[in-house]
Structure 1
Amino acid sequence: MTKRFLELIRRGWRKPPHVIARWLVRQARGELDQYLALRRTRRITLSQLLASLEADSLASLWTRLAEAPFCAFTQPITPEDYDKACPGDVERIMVAADAVLSRRV
């Protein structure tokens, strides 16, 4: 028996039966979903994928994805512009970069 299993038993011993049952169901669903998800991915067709993503064709889907805004800035940014967004951070980054280049921890 592993330490983790013994710890689960020790913690579970103090829980009411409905909490333990809910935990067991959640664990079983997680295990089952790992198995079923693999089967679902093997069965999906292109038409099902396009319908679920509301796209007419694969080309239009790729175009829509390429035009979608990202939550992170994905293009180069000048240190000045970055310093406007995060004042003082450029200096911290440059000091850390110099430390790396001189192999200091």
Structure 2
Amino acid sequence: MRGRSSVFGAVSDFAYLPRDARAEISSGAGGRFALAGATCGRRLPARYGPAPEVPVELRGAGRAGRQVNNLAQAGGFACDRLMVVEVLTPAGNWSSYPPHKHDEA
């Protein structure tokens, strides 16, 4: 996978691993890795998500403007009970208004 030098540099490619899967993650150059997970009921196949295929949206306007990278979102990259988005909010802006919370499922 290509990866990126900074979260602000570009959208990254990613991998989806099904439940009960084992994987080893490494990088010759070192780095940080984000691992998202959720309790799921179905076992879906492992897949690769290339960066150019990640849908990017600009949401909101003015002080509520932000970029949303939809890595694994409902209706897009199929996962079982997992949604992964990355929100980049310019300094001084609100990510959303009014502030909200995500309750446990």
Superposition TM-score tier, normalisation by shorter sequence:
under 0.3
More relative contact order, 1 or 2 (CA 8 Å, 6+ apart) = 2
TM-score (norm 1): 0.20
Q: Greater strand share, 1 or 2?
A: 2
TM-score (norm 2): 0.20
Q: Greater helix share, 1 or 2?
A: 1
